Structure 1
Amino acid sequence: MKIIFSRKGVDSAAGRCCSPLINGRPISLPIPTRMPTATRYGDLTTSTIAFDLTKGRLDPTQPCHLDPDIDREALNTQRPHGWRGALGQVSSSLSHLRNNDVGPGDVFLFWGLFRECVQATKGWRYAGPKRHAIFGWLQIDTVIDLGCDGSHALAQHPWLARHPHVRPGWNNKNAIYLARETLTIGEGDIPGYGVFRRPIFLTEEGATPSTWSVPPWLDPQSGGVGMTYNPPSRWLGNGRVTVAARGQEFVSDAGIRPDARDWLLSLFGGQP
């Protein structure tokens, strides 16, 4: 099993803001985009929050890239029958996933830059430090090669019609990862995709956002498997790592390690 730490949502470069933590709940804001999309910030249930936190820069008419699309309640409209989570990827990031043999059964953990937010007299505002945190997950069921125009995928999966990566206008290196209905790791009926009700913080307490504290199975200095884009020089010992600035897909090949599996399942424990 591979666990992919996948960077998603707005940050200081893409969107020039942080996603909010509201009453402790992470809400990942999609990035603004000029690429093909059917979605604008006004279509999101979090449209007002995005507008307030950016002082109107992310206004309701601005196109956005809702991907990964893993939250059934992200849009103001009802989801079509058969809808489930999906993630699109293109270009060099897609090549990286392919080169590391990421495929069915592997798990994406989506993380981004977050700050606590409060609702004030003049709308939502930031009220806490910037931290990296995991906000969602997706276990891969199927990978579809889409190419420049992914609309052919709609014949079998019509519920994908709103996903940006099935629209024409991408380069030829374009694919989509469809989620499993339920997680095939562990027992019970854990969904194969979704958003956490509480963030899983990666940033070490009191540190800059890119200094993470990670479990031993991941730390190569403690016998862990490491992750791509983060060579030995980035590891600081005792589960600490200064992660690469712009890497989008950090792949960890956990194999059949029980400690990695137990850690992954522990993320779902204690979620309200």
Structure 2
Amino acid sequence: MRISFSRKGFDSAAGGAPSPIIDGKPISLPIPTRHRSDTTYGDVGLGKIVERVTHGRISGSDLCHRDPMFQDNCCAFGQVAAAQSHLDNHGFGVGDVFLFYGLFADERGRDRHHRIFGYLRVSEKLTLGSSSLVPPHCLEGFQYRHPHTIGQWNDNNTLYFGRGNVARSASQVLRLSKPGVVSCWQIPEWLGGIGLSYHSKPARWAVEGELKIVSRGQEFVTEDVIDNSAARQWVDDIIREIDEG
């Protein structure tokens, strides 16, 4: 079992602001797009929120790239290009786990930090290629069309399916960043012992229990942790916190 810390949603580059925590609930705002989508922020009930967070730069009628897509304890997530090649190079697939995280802040934009907001346990991996054709059964039950099934994509355009969910509360258990330092994570002991892709420089791990996160990248992948009981327990605890929190 491999774990990918998968960066998603609004940040200073995509969207121009953190996703908000409203009434104690983290709301991951999907990034804006101008193509390969037929879903607006208003369609998914985020129109007023995105307008407020961006001070009107993005409206409820603007298209969004709604990915990962969650519904009824299921998740569909698409990846492509260099990020998908990175996952492939690490053998990522069925049996592995995406932990989706993003940049969040309170309703006034304060206390910016990274936090995990959702997960996907992969039970099916489907390479769509440039045609974006997907068997109908794969997205059965999802209310909206997945963006990776719309238009032309790279040849390694891929969809992952499986059990997944989003957090309903801004639990401290799901917070990654140290207070006041967005790019410095508080990490479990097991992660410091095995490392993470894109984070090979020893200086990033210089302080025990902390990791200085790189500024670019979408998928940060561990080695196989199937024989690491501490890692598997940690993932189970994170998923339980999301499902039950």
**1:219-272, Cα deviation, whole Å (9 max, x unpaired):** 1xxxx1111011123112211111011111000122321101111122224843
Alignment equivalent of 1:155, drawn from 129, 133, 136: 136
CA distance in 2, matches of 1:53, 1:38: 22
Distance in 2, matches of 1:143 and 1:108, equals 13
Unaligned runs of 5+ in 1: 73-82, 118-125, 180-191
More helix by share: 2
Q: TM-score when scaled to structure 2?
A: 0.91
Task: Please give the alpha-carbon distance, in whole angstroms, between the structure 2 residues aligned to 1:235 and 1:198.
Answer: 29
Distance in 1, matches of 2:233 and 2:158, equals 30
SS at match of 2:178: coil
TM-score by length of 1: 0.82
Q: Percent identity?
A: 40
Match of 1:175 among 158, 170, 195: 158
Moved more, 164-173 or 153-162: 153-162
Distance 1:157 1:71, change over 3 A: closer
Name 1:259's counterpart in structure 2.
Answer: 230
Q: Which one scores higher on RCO, CA 8 angstroms, separation ≥ 6?
A: 2
| Residue aligning to 2:211 | 241
When the two chains are superposed, the root-mean-square deviation of aligned CA atoms in Å is 1.7
Counterpart contact for 1:10–1:112, Cα < 8 Å: yes
Quick one: distance in 1 between partners of 2:42 and 2:157?
A: 26
- Partner in structure 1 of residue 117 of structure 2: 135
Q: Of the candidates 160, 174, 195, which is equivalent to residue 226 of structure 1?
A: 195
Is 1:203 aligned to residue 186 of structure 2?
A: no
CA distance in 2, matches of 1:150, 1:34: 18
Residues 27-46 of structure 1: pairs in structure 2 closer than 5 A? 27-46=27-46
Check conservation: 1:210, 1:243, Cα contact below 8 A: yes
Q: 1:116 to 1:158 in 2, by over 3 A?
A: closer
- The whole-number CA distance in structure 1 between the counterparts of 2:24 and 2:205 is 29
